[in-house]
Structure 1
Amino acid sequence: FKAFITPDLATEYLAGAVLLGAAPCTAMVFVWSSLTKGDPAYTVVQVATNDLIILVAFIPIVKFLLGVSNVTVPWDTLILSVILFVVIPLAGGMLTRYLVTKKKGKDYFENTFVEKFDGITTIGLLLTLIMIFSFQGNVILENPLHIVLIAVPLILQTFLIFAIAYAACKLLKLPHKIAAPAGMIGASNFFELAVAVAVALFGTTSPAALATTVGVLTEVPVMLFLVKVANSTKGWFKND
C-alpha cells in the first residue's frame, strides 16, 4: 500500500496490528464456542491457556515484532501495561470470587453477583472507542481509504489463522465440538487489551490506536461469518 500510505504512517499502523495479533482472545471465545456448539470444558482450557500466554509471552512477542518493524518500546512500559490491564484485573477477579464465594456461596456468585457486571466491559470498551474516534475524526474523514487498507490485512489474518487451525483439526480427526472453538480462538483477538495497550503506549490520537480500533470494528462481523462457516461444515468432521 505504499502508493496510499507513507512509510512512517504505515509503521505506526503496523504497530497497532501487532498489538492485535499478539493478544490471544479470552472472553469472546465463550461466545463463539457457544454459537458453534463447542465443548465447554475444552473452551475453558483454551481460555486458561491464553491467559497464561498473555502473562508470559505477550511482552516478548510484542517487543520482538515491534523491534522488527523499527518501533522502539521500552520494556518497563510494556511490563506496566500488562500489569495494569491483565495482572491487576485477573488478581482482582480471583480475589473477588474467593471472597464472595466464601461468604455467599458459588451459586450466588455465578448467577447473581457476576450478572450485575455483565455490561460494564462493553460500556467501557464503547466509551474508549468513542473517545478514540472523537480524537481521530479528522483523520477518518480525510483518509477513509486508510481505514479500508488497515482492515484488509486484519481480515485476511483472521481468515488465514482460522483456516490453518480448522484444517489441522480436520487432519487430526478431532470432533467438530473441538475443531470449531479451536479455529475461533486462534482467529479471534483480545481487542480490549490491544486497544488499552495502544492507547497507553502511543496515545489516543496515534495511528496505532486507530488500527486497533479498526480491528475491533472488523472482528465481530468476520467472526460471525466464520461461525456460519464452521456450522455449515460440521459434516466434515466425525460425530461428536
Structure 2
Amino acid sequence: MSMQSPVRLAPLDRWLPLWIGLAMVAGLALGGFVPALGEALAALEVGGISLPIALGLLVMMYPVLAKVRYDRVAAVTGDRRLLVSSLALNWVVGPALMFALAWVFLPDLPEYRTGLIVVGLARCIAMVVIWNDLACGDREAAAVLVAINSVFQVVAFSLLGWFYLTVLPGWLGLDSAGLDVSIGQIAGNVLVFLGIPLAAGFASRWVGERVRGRDWYEERFVPRIGPWALYGLLFTIVLLFALQGDAVTSRPLDVARIALPLLVYFAVMWGVGMATGRTLALGYARSTTLAFTAAGNNFELAIAVAIGTFGAASGQALAGVVGPLIEVPVLVGLVYVSLWVGRRWFPGTAPAAPSGSTTAQQEVRA
C-alpha cells in the first residue's frame, strides 16, 4: 500500500464539525421560529418519502458514488472475510444489540423502546458513504456493502421486525409489539436513496472516462463535484432539525433517554467493526468501511416505518427522528477517532492526516 501526501484542505473540509454544528442550530432555529416550515416540509412527500430530504441525500451521495472505481468492485466481492463479517455485524449483531439496549435503558417506555428497535433493524444505505469517504475508507467496498445491505433490507426487514418485536419478547416473557410494513415501501426507499445516486455515479464515470479519459475524470471532474457531497449533507441536517426541532426542544428529557442507548450503540458497533477488521487483517481502508457500515442506520426508512405504522405524533416516531440527530455528530466524531486509531492499529496503511482535518481529499491507494 502506498499513500498520497496530505493536501491542503478547503475550509469546508477543515471546519466540518463547526459547519455541522451550525447546520443543527440553524435547523432548530428555523423549526422554532417558523413553525409552518416543518408542516410544509412534511407535506412534501411522495409514497412516504420526504422530497426535500431525498434531494439533500441524493446531492450528498452522488459525488461519493461518482468517485468509486467500479472496475475494482470485483476485488471487493471476492473478499469473503469482509462480506461475511459485514453481514454478521449488520444483520445479527446490530439488531440484537439495539434490542438489548432498548430494553436495558427504556424498560418503562414501550413506545420509545419499539422505535429504537426499528432503528436498529434499518441498516445504513445512504449517509454511511460520506462518513466512510471522510475517514478515507475503501469507496469500492462501501459501494458493495451498501448494495448488499439494500438487498437484505428488502428481504429481511419485515421478518426481523416480527422477530424482535413479537417473537423474541414472547420467548423472554416481555411485552410484545407489532410491525406492519410492506416490502414495496422498503424497496421504494432503497431505490430512491441508493439506486438513483448509484446509477448516476456509475453513468458519470462510464461516460466521463470514455469521452475524456480517466485522468481528466479524476483530476478535473471529481474535484469539481466533490464539495457538493458536504453541501448536501449540511442541507439535509438543516432540514432534519427543522422538521423535528419542536419535538426535540419540547421533550428534552425524553430525547436524552433515547439518546443514551443510541450513543452506546454507535460506539459499540463502530468499535466492534474496527476491531473485527484488524483481527481479520483487512487493512485500514476496509476495516474503516466495515466499522462505519456497521454503525450507521437507515434513518429515512426507520422514520417512515415508525410514522406509517404508529403515527407521526407517536413515541416510536420521536425515537426514529432522534436517531439521525444523534448519529450525525457521533459519526462525525468517529471519523476523527478512526483516523487516530488507524495510525496506531494500522501503521503504514492508514492516512497520515493533519491534525484537525477530516482528510476528505486524501485517499489510501493500493
Structure 2 length as normaliser, TM-score?
Answer: 0.53
Deviation at 1:38, TM superposition (A): 1.2
Code of the aligned partner of 2:151: L
Give the structure 2 partner of residue 79 of structure 1.
183
CA distance in 1, matches of 2:176, 2:236: 32
Cα distance change of structure 1 residues 153 and 38 upon mapping to structure 2, 3 Å threshold: same
CA distance in 1, matches of 2:291, 2:146: 13
Equivalent of 1:185 in 289, 293, 299: 293
Confirm or deny: 8 A CA contact 1:23 1:190 kept in the other structure: yes
Alignment of 1:22-41 (within 5 A): 22-41=121-140
CA distance in 2, matches of 1:170, 1:28: 24
Give the structure 2 partner of residue 227 of structure 1.
335
Q: Secondary structure at the match of 1:233?
A: helix
CA distance in 2, matches of 1:163, 1:91: 25
Confirm or deny: 8 A CA contact 2:126 2:194 kept in the other structure: no
CA distance in 2, matches of 1:47, 1:174: 18
Confirm or deny: 8 A CA contact 2:106 2:112 kept in the other structure: no
Give the structure 1 partner of residue 207 of structure 2.
106
Alignment of 1:126-141 (within 5 A): 127=239, 130-134=242-246, 136=247, 140-141=249-250
Cα distance change of structure 1 residues 208 and 27 upon mapping to structure 2, 3 Å threshold: same
2:196 equivalent to 1:93: yes
Equivalent of 1:209 in 317, 325, 328: 317
C-alpha distance after superposition, 1:103-138 (max 9, x if no partner): xx7339x979x99x977897677556544544x47x
Give the structure 1 partner of residue 346 of structure 2.
237
Give the structure 2 partner of residue 197 of structure 1.
305
Deviation at 1:82, TM superposition (A): 1.5
Give the structure 1 partner of residue 352 of structure 2.
none
Equivalent of 1:50 in 149, 171, 176: 149
Give the structure 1 partner of residue 275 of structure 2.
167
Runs of 4+ in 1 over 2 A off after TM superposition: 4-7, 77-81, 83-87, 89-97, 105-108, 117-134
C-alpha distance after superposition, 1:71-129 (max 9, x if no partner): 1233xx34343144335x379739975xxx5xxx7339x979x99x9778976775565
Code of the aligned partner of 1:199: I
Deviation at 1:239, TM superposition (A): 3.2
CA distance in 2, matches of 1:177, 1:91: 22
Q: Secondary structure at the match of 2:127?
A: helix
Code of the aligned partner of 1:34: D
Code of the aligned partner of 2:329: P
Structure 2 spans left out of the alignment, 5+ residues? 1-101, 170-174, 210-216, 350-366
Deviation at 1:191, TM superposition (A): 0.9
Confirm or deny: 8 A CA contact 2:137 2:286 kept in the other structure: yes
C-alpha distance after superposition, 1:145-185 (max 9, x if no partner): 11101000011011111111111111112210111111111
CA distance in 1, matches of 2:198, 2:293: 26
Shifted more, 145-154 versus 193-202: the winner is 193-202
Cα distance change of structure 1 residues 16 and 185 upon mapping to structure 2, 3 Å threshold: same
Confirm or deny: 8 A CA contact 1:85 1:196 kept in the other structure: no
Give the structure 1 partner of residue 49 of structure 2.
none
Instruction: Output the aligned Cα RMSD.
Output: 3.5
Confirm or deny: 8 A CA contact 1:5 1:146 kept in the other structure: no
Equivalent of 1:14 in 88, 108, 113: 113
Deviation at 1:215, TM superposition (A): 0.9
CA distance in 2, matches of 1:128, 1:51: 22
CA distance in 1, matches of 2:274, 2:341: 10
Q: Secondary structure at the match of 2:137?
A: coil
Cα distance change of structure 1 residues 213 and 36 upon mapping to structure 2, 3 Å threshold: same
Code of the aligned partner of 2:140: A
Cα distance change of structure 1 residues 35 and 219 upon mapping to structure 2, 3 Å threshold: same
Structure 1 length as normaliser, TM-score?
Answer: 0.77
- Tell me the percent identity: 29
Code of the aligned partner of 1:237: F
Which has more helix, going by share of residues?
Answer: 1
Structure 1 spans left out of the alignment, 5+ residues? none
C-alpha distance after superposition, 1:192-227 (max 9, x if no partner): 111111111111101011011111111011101111
2:266 equivalent to 1:158: yes
Q: Secondary structure at the match of 1:70?
A: coil
